[in-house]
Amino acid sequence: MIPKLPLHSPRWRDLDGVKAEEVEALVEQLASVADTEDGDAWRQTWTCLAGGLLDDGTVSDGAYAALPHLVEAAAALPPGQSVDFWVDLGCIVTAEDRPPVPADLEAGFSAALRAAEGAATRSLLAADAPAQVCAHLVLSCVAFAGHHTGEALWRLQDPRESGLQLVCPGCESDTEIPDFFVDPVRPSFEAPELPDPAHVREGEHPWGEVAAALQEEALGEGWEPFLRVAREVAAAGVPPETPGQAVLCLVAGLVAVRGTPEPAARESARQLMSLTGHFRCWDCEQTWTIADGLAENPDGARPRHRPTEAWTDSDGSAATVESAAAGRTGEAATRFRRDENAVLAADGTPWGPISEFADSAPGSFGGVDSLAVVSRPGRPTLVAGAGDRGVVCLWDVADGRLVHDPLPGHRDRIRSMTALPMPDGHVLLASGGDTGTIAVWNPVTGQPVREPAGDWPGGVTGMCTATVPDGRTLLVTATPRGAVRLWDPDTGECVGRLNPYGSPIQSIVAVPISAGHTLIAASDTAGRLHVWDPAVDDPWEPGAAVQLSARALADADHRVAAAAAVPTPDRTVLATGDDRGVVMLWDLATGAPIGLPVDTGTAGLPVITGTTLHGGRTVLVTGTRHGHRLRVWEPETGAVGHIALDVALTCLATAGPDLIVGHDRGVLGLPLTRQ
């Protein structure tokens, strides 16, 4: 009998996510099924109740009171009818955000897990479950046994349609391996070592029959050593000290013998057995077991010091590693790392110098929130940077030299900047403040063309420069409250408005579509991307603007958080990024995507920039605000490089072949081509 919180106890009122009445109703339905061996009404009730117990990855404390009641009732069901229940329960007990079990509920919850382990293993041995469901059921059983490898349940929801996302146990960097799963006929890597025989679970456990079910011929020639490990793990009762690699052998072996149909189950099992290999973290360059990368902070994780095979991403985007499956080689990613004032390539050879822009160290200038590149015909290119001190700094991009004393003006943080190439050839610089002030500067003299003025609620969160066919250059500003205005830079007069829907804007960029004509693309806080033509007086008229394909956005589930204009040899395209780390390229002439979405493996608020290198090679650089890693991607070839920073990223820009990085302590520049 499992200790349970009485359903009439007032304690239920203190618990979130569930009511005692809901638990009582589901228990009655489960009891009815056990008596009649019929009826599916309980499944719908359970689905609704489970949504309260696990809401968006967060487990409610009410789960610890409800599950003892539900596990006891579900354990009485015929084994073949409860598979989905045990998988759902496995997701609950392995969710990333789980509050501590209240002391008064701990005994009942622990007993419920032991009962769930026994009932779920009975379902595993009795039910004919599809291969993928079988894998989830085995991982749930492992979780009920108290082994951390059960957490892999969340990362292996659909291995055929997604890559593999691993977390380095050492530095906690994400390592993504798209298209990880293969189907090797025979293993091209060694089986894990047998578990330590001293680690045997005390007391009774339900894994004895599981060990007997693991047949030697289940996976074909070459796989018997892996199944031997699986049998040893089961015979020992899956003790918590068992290496994750060995537990994954058990998972794969059970999918082979219990999954259906048999051919698909064996194929899936061989794919899962590939998880018993290794991967090399691109960031700290240490090699770990894939099993340890599937769990959060696994106990006993240690880097592997002797040479070993490790997985690599097919496009090199995850790690600098070797092949670990037949026919899978792939080139290693170019990984840059900083060595004092130089950038080193993955092989340790010099790539080029790092420019620390002068007077941008802590105490003199501070962090930078916005960047702008001022390209002047026949004159050195300048980089402008500004941050929370309300001043603008201008540097020579060639040597990082400060060309003026810092330009004071804004009384608040500067959140946005843009260069304004004027029709007569001179270039102005505009800056927008946190309280809505706008200033225009002459970057040659360092003098303001107009002092900071204006007071727009919410601040100026974005700026860009528009050119229209009548020859004018206009300053475009955006606010989080949805005001998108067009300004005459010389007079400071507002000459137009965009964004008729008033959507709050978080990113805005100008994209040239022809000589003397740009379109404006902006993402709002709901993840929508709007395209406007500043040459049209009526903001409701589209003019030359074509909206992005709604179907392509929906198919990719792409909610745009940042946008950037990326020059290519024949046109400028639009790049968009979302907070999951996905980047897409778009042709603004048609609104259609260019190529397929690319997952950068840098989830979070994105920052994006792009440039065309010598020889016509287009590169896109992406990162995450306040992150420490950048991804350099060549869309045409698929080549990928990584740059590890020792500063927290805030903004990006490019000046020809140089990448300009704004960070929490200033500005630095580094080359995108070897020097």
Name which of 19-23, 144-148, 193-197, 356-360 the model is least confident about. 356-360
pLDDT band per the 50, 70, 90 thresholds, residue 430: very high
User: Over 60: is that where the pLDDT of 263 sits?
Assistant: yes
Mean pLDDT of all residues in 314-339: 38
Q: What residue type is 658 in one-letter code?
A: D
Query: How high does pLDDT run on average in the chain?
Result: 85
User: Over 70: is that where the pLDDT of 59 sits?
Assistant: yes
Name the pTM for this structure: 0.58
pLDDT band per the 50, 70, 90 thresholds, residue 399: confident
364-537+545-603 CATH pick, 2.130.10.10, 2.40.50.140, 2.40.37.10, 1.10.530.10: 2.130.10.10
pLDDT band per the 50, 70, 90 thresholds, residue 216: low
**For the sheet containing 529-532, what is the strand order?**
505-514, 517-524, 529-532
Name which of 53-57, 61-65, 595-599, 661-665 the model is least confident about. 595-599
User: Over 90: is that where the pLDDT of 436 sits?
Assistant: no
User: Over 50: is that where the pLDDT of 413 sits?
Assistant: yes
- Distance separating alpha carbons of residues 229 and 225, to the nearest angstrom: 6
User: Over 50: is that where the pLDDT of 321 sits?
Assistant: no
As beta bridge partners, residue 351 has none
Q: What are the tens digits of pLDDT across the range 265-291?
A: 998 898 899 899 888 876 666 788 999
**% pLDDT > 70, the chain:** 88
Do residues 623 and 652 make contact, with C-beta atoms less than 8 angstroms apart? Answer: yes
Q: Which helix (H) or strand (E) holds 234?
A: helix 224-235
DSSP 8-class letter at 478 = E
DSSP 8-class letter at 97 = B
Q: What are the tens digits of pLDDT across the range 492-515?
A: 899 999 999 888 999 999 999 998
- Distance separating alpha carbons of residues 167 and 447, to the nearest angstrom: 49
pLDDT band per the 50, 70, 90 thresholds, residue 665: confident
User: Over 50: is that where the pLDDT of 138 sits?
Assistant: yes
Name which of 320-324, 335-339, 407-411, 460-464 the model is least confident about. 320-324
User: Over 70: is that where the pLDDT of 366 sits?
Assistant: no
pLDDT at 545: 93
Per the document, the length of the chain is 675
- Distance separating alpha carbons of residues 467 and 412, to the nearest angstrom: 29
**% pLDDT > 90, the chain:** 48
For residues 599 and 70, the model is more confident at 70
Mean pLDDT of all residues in 397-420: 85
For residues 111 and 97, the model is more confident at 111
Q: What are the tens digits of pLDDT across the range 536-577?
A: 988 889 999 999 999 999 999 999 999 999 999 889 999 999
pLDDT at 580: 84
Tokens at residue 14, please?
């203190």
User: Over 70: is that where the pLDDT of 302 sits?
Assistant: yes
- Distance separating alpha carbons of residues 252 and 260, to the nearest angstrom: 13
Please give the backbone phi and psi of residue 653, each rounded to the nearest 5 degrees, phi first: -155, 165
Q: What are the tens digits of pLDDT across the range 604-652?
A: 888 999 999 888 889 999 988 888 888 888 888 877 777 877 788 999 9
Exposure class string for 269-306: b at 16+ Cβ within 10 A, else e: bbbbbbbbbbbbbbbbbbbbbbbbbbbeebeebebeee
As beta bridge partners, residue 510 has 520
Residues 6+ apart with CB under 8 A from 138: 124, 250, 251, 254, 255
Name which of 127-131, 196-200, 212-216 the model is least confident about. 212-216
User: Over 50: is that where the pLDDT of 326 sits?
Assistant: no
Which of 76-80, 136-140, 193-197 is most confident? 136-140
For residues 330 and 153, the model is more confident at 153
- Distance separating alpha carbons of residues 147 and 125, to the nearest angstrom: 20
pLDDT band per the 50, 70, 90 thresholds, residue 324: very low
Residues 6+ apart with CB under 8 A from 85: 46, 70, 74, 77
For residues 365 and 302, the model is more confident at 302
Mean pLDDT of all residues in 415-434: 90
Sign of the alpha-carbon torsion through 237, 110, 36, 49: negative
- Comparing CA positions, the residue from 645, 582, 418, 584 lying closest to residue 510 is 418
pLDDT at 400: 85
- Residue 311, CA distances (Å) to 125, 180, 428, 634 in order: 32, 8, 50, 22
- Distance separating alpha carbons of residues 563 and 576, to the nearest angstrom: 4
Query: Around Cβ 666, how many Cβ atoms within 10 Å?
Result: 23
User: Over 90: is that where the pLDDT of 90 sits?
Assistant: yes
Residues 6+ apart with CB under 8 A from 231: 211, 214, 253
User: Over 50: is that where the pLDDT of 588 sits?
Assistant: yes
pLDDT at 355: 82
Query: If DSSP codes are grouped into helix, strand and coil, which group holds residue 473?
Result: strand
pLDDT at 553: 94
User: Over 90: is that where the pLDDT of 447 sits?
Assistant: no
pLDDT at 282: 67
